Amino acid sequence: MATLIHRPDGPLADGAVQLSSTTPVLSGGRIGVLDNGKPNARLLLTRAAEGLAGRIGGHLATVTGKGAGANAATACTSQVLETLSKEVELVLTGSAD
């Protein structure tokens, strides 16, 4: 017999998944690396960024950590995010274990 039940997931928070608009063309773009604190993340992400920069004619503009007191398990400081948003068009981050 057909029955109505409640969905288990509930609504999403306002703006929860709003991402910034993507850069339509990366050619010549500035690339940043955000080291998330995992082992070898800086090395891996920097190599990837350099490779990408070579393919799109861009350049690696900055390599940074998450900020004072932050680590792989905590959020990046807002100061670092603001700086990145001004200095680069693309950020590589998120190396796992």
Partner 1 sequence: MGDNAAVDDYQGLVEVADQGPEGLYEYFSERGWGDGLPLVAPTHERVEESLSHADGDPDEPVAILSPRDGVATRRAVAVNAVLAGCRPEYLPVVLTAVRALGHQQVNLRGVNATTHPVAPLSIVHGEVVDALGFNAGLGAFGPGTRANATVGRAVRLVLLHVAGARPGPGDASTQGQPSKYTYCVAENSAESPWEPYHRSVGVEAPSAVTVHCGENPHNFHDMESDRIERILDKAASAMATFGVNNACISGGEWFIGLCPEHAAVADGDGWGRADVAAYLFEHARRPASEFRAQFDRLAWADWMRTADDEALLPMTQEPGNIRVFVTGGPGKHSCVIPSWGMTRSVTLPVAG
Which of residues 21 and 97 has its CB atom nearest to partner 1 in the complex? 97
| Interacting residues with partner 1 (CB under 8 A) | 1-13, 16-17, 39, 71, 73-75, 96-97
Q: Residue 87: in which H helix or E strand, if any?
A: helix 78-87
Distances (CA, A) of 42 to 2, 10, 14, 32, 85: 55, 38, 33, 11, 19
Residues with Cβ within 8 Å of 23's Cβ and at least 6 positions away in sequence, in order, are: 29, 89, 90
Q: Shortest distance, CB of residue 90 to partner 1, whole angstroms?
A: 22
Q: Shortest distance, CB of residue 87 to partner 1, whole angstroms?
A: 25
Which of residues 10 and 24 has its CB atom nearest to partner 1 in the complex? 10
Q: Shortest distance, CB of residue 15 to partner 1, whole angstroms?
A: 9
